[in-house]
């Protein structure tokens, strides 16, 4: 994986992206045990959080698909596919997305990031146009990776499948065998000037931190 020490030199560009061969997937199959209710269905400004994220993603990709229980989430009106392995966590959802896709690249995000934007998704898609690696993965301001808001080649599915079959549950550990292009905050600063785009909801108290209201 590319060292963050080499990341400050990427020149930020803003472009208008037409249709590209990139599919979008939103992982909605988590148990939300710490949050206490289903985060994908959390009402945020009158719509489920999953649909709020889908609306931001749609302009940047060819299609948007939910990854989770088709019976539970089919009512949201978007295509839904099941996790590749039931109750395996987000890695099972990532694997399902990569194995489902017929395109070269895929934009994959979790359903608990209420502040993601179309500009961020477009930026990630733009990186795939010149990337020769297996994925494009941003790091936040604390130096933590954001593998559940990243772009992956469909060809990475085989190695991710192998990790799952070996009992690996952590996404970053599963990515160890892949070539990943890392993005530092300086690379995407123009689309995240306040450094909040990767804010996620783990507990109900995080709603205030994200500056939103909601009811489970």
Q: What is the pLDDT of residue 211?
A: 62
Q: Which of 29, 35, 155, 131 is nearest to 85 (CA)?
A: 29
Q: What is the pLDDT of residue 214?
A: 47
Taking residue 196's Cβ as centre, other Cβ atoms within 10 Å add up to 14
Q: What is the pLDDT of residue 121?
A: 98
Residues paired with residue 48 on neighbouring β-strands, in sequence order: 43
Q: What is the pLDDT of residue 163?
A: 96
* Domains assigned to the chain: 20-208 (3.90.550.10)
Q: Where are the alpha helices (DSSP H) in 10-101?
A: 49-57, 70-73, 90-100
Q: What is the pLDDT of residue 162?
A: 96
Q: Which of 200, 148, 195 is nearest to 39 (CA)?
A: 200
Which residue's structure tokens are 């179309």? 118
Q: Give the global pTM.
A: 0.85
pLDDT at 172 over 80: yes
pLDDT at 171 over 90: yes
Q: What is the pLDDT of residue 44?
A: 84
């Amino acid at each position: 994986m590319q060292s963050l020490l080499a990341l400050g030199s990427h020149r930020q560009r803003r472009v208008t992206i037409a249709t590209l061969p990139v599919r979008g997937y939103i992982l909605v199959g988590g148990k939300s045990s710490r949050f206490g209710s289903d985060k994908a269905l959390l009402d945020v400004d009158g719509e489920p959080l999953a649909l709020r994220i889908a609306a931001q993603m749609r302009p940047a990709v060819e299609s948007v698909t939910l990854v989770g229980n088709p019976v539970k989430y089919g009512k949201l009106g978007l295509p839904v596919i099941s996790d590749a392995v039931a109750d395996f966590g987000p890695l099972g959802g990532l694997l399902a997305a990569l194995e489902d896709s017929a395109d070269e690249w895929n934009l994959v995000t979790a359903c608990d990031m209420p502040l993601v934007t179309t500009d961020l998704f477009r930026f990630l898609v733009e990186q795939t146009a010149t990337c020769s690696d297996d994925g494009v993965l941003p790091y936040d301001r604390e130096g933590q990776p954001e593998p559940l808001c990243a772009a992956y080649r469909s060809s990475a599915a085989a190695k991710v499948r192998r990790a799952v079959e070996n009992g690996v549950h952590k996404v970053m550990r599963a990515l160890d065998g892949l070539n990943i292009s890392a993005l530092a905050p300086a690379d995407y600063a123009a689309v995240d000037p306040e450094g909040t785009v990767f804010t996620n909801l783990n507990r109900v108290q995080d709603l205030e931190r994200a500056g939103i209201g909601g009811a489970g």
